């Protein structure tokens, strides 16, 4: 196949004009001559025509960036992830390419409003929550920092399910996000790869008498790449996210074909296409399904082959220098099979000896851990591996045998330690511990916040830390300030830039220039700050009214908890507080009351009973409280359905109080906490994950800290007595009394029994009841603080002004300094 990159080099100055007139012209041409629509059509086509207009203007930079990536001396990093939670693209590209105003003007002549056209875009929901959103923020920052980083992922036909609420219950609906054409992808069928499954292995001696292995009788699946552009901020860089789609090979099952069952043999192709059909909707838990392992290997194999193909185009078949120019970042253990796959490709396909292949593998792989929850640690049954990936299992066994010899040398006679550290878990049915495979095969292992990285070294990975302390490091997460401030909060962005210039957008450390403006004398600035918050609250109130039918008065404190619904994130603790406030109102204990609107949102994994039932509880509590005339504006509660990236873009700028209330030691980092802080929310939070670093940055007088710390949680766990705690606390007893009375579920008796029982169980891993008193006291301080609006606004400004560290630009610079060691590309706007 000819290499298009070589043949189609176009002159450098082939950029299209960006003025409003040119945009208007192209918009009209796309709408009328390309899409065959005209004014009065479904507004979806306005979005499509504008996106195609914008995409044309990305192409030149995209090609130039690609040529820079391809330079033979360019070291590159690859971010391998089963999830990229991208959200909408149009507004982000408009911001990055600095053509927002021109585009708004261009479509104004068609009486179209840019903000409305943007909402036609479906979210690209190729992820569950924080881990997938992190991958998307990372790519944004890499492009802005001009780092040659490629994302590799899967092009799921169905992304994260859409969540409806019916009678208070979550109902899942498939997210067929590709139903209407996706203007943000470019199919590159010329780079199709073949991925093998099944079959068996054959061992033989080659002509030189060396032992070799073939993997034969495999069922093959084709991987077709779809490229998504990732634009940098005002810098001429457009990096690539390459997403693989699975399709059947053209070969038919000949036996069936000849037996006259042509339709059946065509139908069998479906099996292959199923691999990238749907994103698994589990956050922080594994589900062990065969199709999921297929997805993982499909991503690893297609991506590695693609990279090796590019290598051969530059360097021929000599892979000895491969590790000098390539580095892989594994986003959790999901793509960890890449360790064994790289070994297979180097040995079986490129004829390399084990030692050299292992040296290369160990110098190219880096692993990021995202969780301490045991239920989230991936283990695959050896039986499944043997059937699906027999050659990979052989390689894993060999990696393990050699590794355990190393352990034996380090700790002679310590068979207990060898058993503990083995990649193969011999307990209850053999399984492969993917985290251990990732650690053994990598030169870097990192956690995602200081506390989390330290807990990994002391707990989960302690043996490995003892063996290889130099591998372990921390990279505290971040979020991109482009999407989460500049795009999501234009009013606050304009205000900040008016006072300190706009350099903070690409260097968030400069946001600390706002700090002096928090001083009491800057009254006008404070008023403008409060006004921006207020108009953002108005927008959120409109959304809440639309989606939930609940009125949120904008003078109330907006108290928000949005994130996946999970026991460790303790939405139930939030509910206990809500019910406590309700009790206070009912008994007339409302002196110096602060009106509150509590918003909760998030999806529960479809198979996670406790999480789904929590959603029902929140909705029932909301219904009772919102309809009680005795409550009025003092307390409003709403559950926002279908929480996703585009809803967070409305929520974060409008939030006064950010709820980050996980059980200490359970939230690895959190990133929602950072989006809220950047947008001037104050945090009520436990000493957990990146909350600790947020607290350090903003100071404890601007943060509402509560709850047990990690050591205290573990200490109390030993004789935890939730019933005793409830009995000893009048308020908490009243809350449980009301819950147990069936007040919130008169028509459906007993439905909350499991939730209540779990909180009262001495073995409750999340220790919800233990933190109630401290949480309620902190909430009382919040209410008090909100009454003094002047001080509150100053604290709000200080939160934004102290958020510089939490930009993914900083995170990516640290990955690059310590792990990737890439030279930024020589590209200019
Ligand atoms: C940021 C974000 C998350 C992560 O939130 P946490 O509070 O850190 O769990 C999850 N989902 C979406 C849509 C997000 O934007």
Do 524 and 450 share a structural domain? no
Q: Which of 130, 646, 651, 684 to mutate to test the pocket of ligand 1 (most atoms within 8 A of CB)?
A: 130
Closest atom of ligand 1 to CA, residue 479: 1
> For residue 492, what are the CA distances in angstroms to 240, 495, 503, 559, 786?
30, 5, 15, 19, 20
User: Is 324 marked active-site?
Assistant: no
pLDDT in tens, 727-782: 999 999 999 999 999 999 999 999 999 999 999 999 999 999 999 999 999 999 99
Residue with tokens 């002509």: 207
DSSP one-letter string for 604-638 = --TT-HHHHHHHHHHHHHHHHHHH-TTTGGGEEEE
670 in contact with ligand 1, CB cutoff 6 A: yes
Q: Which of 281, 371, 564 to mutate to test the pocket of ligand 1 (most atoms within 8 A of CB)?
A: 564
565 in contact with ligand 1, CB cutoff 6 A: no
Q: Which helix (H) or strand (E) holds 734?
A: helix 730-740
**Spatial CA neighbour of 136 closest among 81, 186, 216, 72:** 81
d(CA 93, CA 54): 8
Residue 687 belongs to some domain of the structure:
yes
pLDDT at 12: 61
Do 683 and 585 share a structural domain? yes
Identify each DSSP E strand in 536-581 by its residue range.
557-562
CATH number at residue 694: 3.40.50.2000
Distance 643 CA to ligand 1 centre (A): 9
Residue 103 belongs to some domain of the structure:
no
Q: Which of 126, 672, 675, 691 to mutate to test the pocket of ligand 1 (most atoms within 8 A of CB)?
A: 672
pTM assigned to the model: 0.97
Q: Which of 128, 135, 563, 646 to mutate to test the pocket of ligand 1 (most atoms within 8 A of CB)?
A: 563
* Residue stretches of the chain with pLDDT short of 70: 1-12, 252-260
Identify each DSSP E strand in 249-334 by its residue range.
326-331
How many residues belong to the chain?
829
Look at residue 86 and give its three-state secondary structure. strand
Do 531 and 466 share a structural domain? no
648 in contact with ligand 1, CB cutoff 6 A: yes
645 in contact with ligand 1, CB cutoff 6 A: yes
Strand order, beta sheet including 379-381: 379-381, 431-433, 424-425
Q: Whose CA is nearest to atom 8 of ligand 1?
A: 670
Identify the DSSP state of 375.
G
Do 650 and 560 share a structural domain? yes
Do 523 and 408 share a structural domain? no
Do 500 and 462 share a structural domain? no
Do 196 and 174 share a structural domain? yes
pLDDT at 252: 59
User: Is 675 marked active-site?
Assistant: yes
| Cα 524–chain centre separation | 38
Residue 20 belongs to some domain of the structure:
no
Inter-helix orientation angle 20-28/44-69, to 10°: 110
Q: Whose CA is nearest to atom 4 of ligand 1?
A: 130
* Catalytic-role residue among 88, 93, 146, 370: 370
**Spatial CA neighbour of 440 closest among 324, 338, 519, 311:** 338
Cβ neighbors of 115 (< 8 A, separation 6 or more) are none
Residue 67 belongs to some domain of the structure:
no
Domain that holds residue 432: 72-87+123-476+814-820
* Catalytic-role residue among 364, 614, 663, 671: 671
Cβ neighbors of 637 (< 8 A, separation 6 or more) are 550, 578, 597, 598, 600, 618, 621, 622, 625, 626
User: Is 196 marked active-site?
Assistant: no
- Return the structure tokens found at 50: 């504008």
Closest atom of ligand 1 to CA, residue 670: 8
d(CA 809, CA 508): 8
Do 368 and 287 share a structural domain? yes
> For residue 564, what are the CA distances in angstroms to 348, 601, 602, 604, 757?
42, 8, 5, 6, 22
* Cβ 819 vs Cβ 329: under 8 Å: yes
Backbone angles phi, psi at 768, to 5 degrees: -60, -45
**Spatial CA neighbour of 91 closest among 478, 493, 497, 542:** 493
Instruction: Please state, as a whole number, how many other Cβ atoms lie within 10 Å of the Cβ of residue 113.
Output: 12
Residue 750 belongs to some domain of the structure:
yes
Whole-number CA gyration radius for the chain: 28
Residue 11 belongs to some domain of the structure:
no
Do 155 and 175 share a structural domain? yes
Do 603 and 505 share a structural domain? yes
Q: Whose CA is nearest to atom 15 of ligand 1?
A: 645
* Cβ 281 vs Cβ 606: under 8 Å: yes
User: Is 545 marked active-site?
Assistant: no
Count of structural domains within the chain: 2
| Cα 277–chain centre separation | 19
* Cβ 43 vs Cβ 117: under 8 Å: yes
Do 529 and 452 share a structural domain? no
133 in contact with ligand 1, CB cutoff 6 A: yes
Instruction: Please state, as a whole number, how many other Cβ atoms lie within 10 Å of the Cβ of residue 209.
Output: 6
Do 285 and 170 share a structural domain? yes
Residue 22 belongs to some domain of the structure:
no
* Catalytic-role residue among 563, 580, 613, 666: 563
d(CA 792, CA 806): 22
Residue 399 belongs to some domain of the structure:
yes
| Cα 106–chain centre separation | 34
């Amino acid at each position: 196949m000819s290499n298009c990159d070589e043949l189609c080099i176009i002159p450098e100055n082939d950029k299209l004009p960006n003025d409003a007139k040119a945009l208007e012209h192209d918009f009209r041409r796309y709408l009328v001559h390309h899409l065959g629509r005209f004014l009065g059509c479904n507004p979806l086509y306005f979005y499509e025509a504008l996106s195609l207009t914008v995409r044309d203007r990305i192409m030149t930079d995209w090609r130039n960036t690609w040529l820079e990536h391809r330079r033979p001396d360019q070291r590159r990093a690859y971010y391998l992830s089963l999830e990229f939670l991208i959200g909408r693209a149009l507004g982000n590209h408009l911001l990055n390419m600095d053509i927002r105003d021109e585009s708004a003007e261009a479509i104004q002549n068609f009486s179209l409003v840019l903000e409305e056209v943007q909402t036609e875009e479906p979210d690209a929901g190729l992820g569950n929550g924080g881990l997938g959103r992190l991958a998307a923020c990372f790519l944004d920052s890499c492009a802005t920092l001009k780092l040659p980083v490629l994302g590799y992922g899967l092009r799921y036909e169905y992304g994260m399910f859409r969540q409806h609420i019916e009678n208070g219950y979550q109902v899942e609906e498939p997210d067929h996000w590709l139903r209407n054409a996706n203007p943000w992808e470019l199919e590159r069928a010329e780079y199709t790869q073949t991925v093998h499954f099944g079959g068996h292995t054959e061992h033989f001696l080659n002509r030189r008498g060396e032992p070799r292995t073939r993997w034969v009788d495999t069922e093959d699946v084709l991987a077709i790449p779809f490229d998504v552009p990732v634009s940098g901020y005002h810098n001429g860089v457009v990096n690539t996210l390459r997403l693989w789609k699975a399709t059947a090979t053209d070969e038919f099952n000949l036996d069936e074909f000849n037996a006259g069952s042509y339709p059946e043999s065509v139908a069998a192709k479906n099996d292959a296409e199923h691999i990238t059909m749907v994103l698994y909707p589990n956050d922080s838990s594994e589900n062990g399904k065969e199709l999921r392992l297929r997805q993982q290997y499909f991503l690893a194999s297609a991506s590695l082959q693609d990279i090796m193909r590019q290598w051969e185009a530059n360097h021929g078949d000599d892979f000895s220098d491969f590790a000098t120019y390539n580095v892989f970042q594994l986003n959790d253990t999901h793509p960890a099979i890449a360790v064994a796959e790289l070994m297979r490709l180097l040995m079986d396909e490129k004829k390399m000896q084990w030692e050299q292949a292992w040296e290369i593998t160990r110098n190219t792989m880096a692993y990021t851990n995202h969780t301490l929850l045991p239920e989230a640690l991936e283990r695959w049954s050896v039986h499944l591996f043997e059937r699906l990936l027999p050659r990979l299992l052989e390689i894993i066994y060999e990696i393990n045998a050699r590794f355990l010899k190393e352990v034996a040398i380090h700790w002679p006679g310590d068979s207990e330690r060898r058993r503990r550290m083995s990649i193969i878990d011999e307990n209850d049915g053999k399984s492969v511990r993917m985290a251990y495979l990732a650690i053994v095969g990598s030169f870097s292992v990192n956690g995602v916040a200081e506390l989390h990285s330290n807990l990994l070294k002391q707990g989960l990975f302690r043996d490995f830390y003892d063996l290889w302390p130099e591998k372990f490091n921390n990279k505290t997460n971040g979020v991109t300030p482009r999407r989460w401030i500049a795009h999501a909060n234009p009013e606050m962005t304009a205000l900040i830039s008016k006072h300190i210039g706009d350099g903070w957008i690409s260097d968030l450390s400069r946001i600390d220039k706002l700090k002096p403006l928090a001083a009491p004398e800057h009254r006008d600035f404070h008023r403008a700050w409060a006004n921006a918050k207020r108009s953002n609250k108005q927008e959120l109130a409109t959304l809440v009214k639309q989606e939930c039918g609940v009125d949120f008065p904008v003078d109330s404190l907006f108290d928000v908890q949005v994130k996946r619904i999970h026991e460790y994130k303790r939405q139930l603790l939030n509910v206990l507080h809500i019910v406590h406030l309700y009790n206070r109102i009912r008994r007339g204990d409302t002196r110096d009351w602060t009106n509150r609107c509590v918003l909760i949102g998030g999806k529960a994994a479809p198979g996670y009973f406790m999480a789904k039932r929590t959603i029902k509880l929140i909705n029932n509590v909301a219904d009772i409280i919102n309809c009680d005339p005795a409550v009025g504006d003092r307390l409003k509660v709403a559950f926002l359905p279908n929480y996703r990236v585009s809803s967070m873009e409305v929520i974060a700028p409008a939030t006064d109080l950010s709820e980050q209330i996980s059980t200490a030691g359970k939230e690895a980092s959190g990133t929602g906490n950072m989006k809220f802080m950047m947008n001037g929310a104050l945090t009520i939070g436990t000493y957990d994950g990146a909350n600790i670093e947020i607290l350090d940055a903003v100071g404890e007088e601007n943060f509402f800290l509560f709850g047990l710390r990690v050591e205290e949680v573990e200490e109390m766990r030993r004789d935890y007595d939730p019933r005793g705690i409830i009995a000893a606390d009048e308020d908490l007893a009243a809350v449980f009394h009301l819950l147990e009375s069936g007040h919130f579920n008169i028509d459906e008796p007993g439905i909350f029994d499991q939730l209540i029982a779990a909180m009262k169980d001495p073995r409750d891993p999340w220790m919800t009841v233990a933190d109630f008193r401290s949480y309620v006291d902190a909430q009382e301080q919040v209410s008090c603080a909100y009454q003094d609006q002047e001080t509150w606004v100053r604290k709000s400004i200080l939160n934004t002004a102290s958020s510089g560290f939490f930009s993914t630009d900083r995170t990516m610079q640290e990955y690059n300094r310590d792990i990737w060691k890439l030279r930024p590309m020589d590209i200019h706007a």
